Structure 1
Amino acid sequence: MTSRYAAGLTALVVPILEAEPVVGRWRTTLDPSAAYGVPAHVTVMYPFLPLDTVDRAALAELFAGYAAFDVVFARCARLPGLLYLEPVPGEPFVQLTHAVTGRWPEARPYGGKYGTVLPHLSVGYESDGAALDEAGTAIELGLPVRARVAAVQLVAYDGTAWRKVEDFPLTAADSPP
């Protein structure tokens, strides 16, 4: 398998393991990242920084300033060629992304490809949409999915798979405004 990722590439994600029973089968066939070990997740920052330049102490300090929160995925949504689960609330994910770009302005969500941050849990990608329609119909039967977001995870691509490097707990009593 030819990799679509460069070794040493990193991302900051929130794994949503509670969603795996509902979306896992579909992600296996519709989301190419699943083949590289990426679990169901909401992205905080992709791409982040090269692994050898990541300041883990700074990440720990940054994320410790945010409180853990509950999230519900109650519906599938679509963008052209993308099926995803919408997190409610989504704003805490946006705040985390903005905090990362505020601290590391060189890190831009999806390399600056999109103008706004849209929190989502990707299920799959396809150009014609028929498989995404089928997946969306099936997944809706398993919703809602509820999860507690208590940490942001640094993951890195090692040349073969994405691997967890470290979890950074969200430990503040209240999130910053």
Structure 2
Amino acid sequence: MSYPRKPISKILLTLSSFLLLTFMFATNAFAASQLEQDAGPYHVIMQMNPETPMANQSGTMTIIVKNKATGQPVTGAKVTMSNPTMMGSNSNDGGNMAGMNMSSSMDSQSGMVMQEQSSMGSMSMEPGSYMMQNMNFNQPGQWNQAITISSSLGQSTVNFPITVGKSGPDYVLIGSVAGVVVIAGIIAAALKGRKK
């Protein structure tokens, strides 16, 4: 069975476009989210990876600190994160991150110090980047994370909201893989029919 050349070209172009959009959506879903706030002399950028952390799954928080007046990175600062609290809950009920023993590793007065990073693996990071890896929230919901920055510019605290989702199957990844398989099958069938 032979197919006219023009419709196959249009079908392949349409399927290629759909495949590209699927990959772009999947890549976007795994990108880090970014929030920005000013606090005293600082401009603070918070990035979460994955964008929406899931309950009982590890994530990474990166804090980028800049001088609000000059836009220059603030290096050598002490950046600490306090015990996160669940919004709408009593902070005395221990609304803390699972997987981190807050009672022993976090001092309620000073918090947990975030490590300054210049690179992550082979990827270089922006100067003034401070990172906390393996963040693990014990339940889904809206959380508040306070970050305190101390340097020669002074000390300020900024609060960032974090939305934690329910853990479960990653439907974006499953849908993307299924879409790729279906599109590859259609393209293969169209090319096979074209050769006959």
How high is the TM-score relative to the length of structure 1?
0.25
Structure that is richer in strand per residue: 2
Larger radius of gyration: 2
Which structure shows the higher helix fraction? Answer: 1
TM-score (norm 2): 0.24
Which structure would you say has the larger RCO, counting Cα contacts within 8 Å and 6 or more residues apart? 1
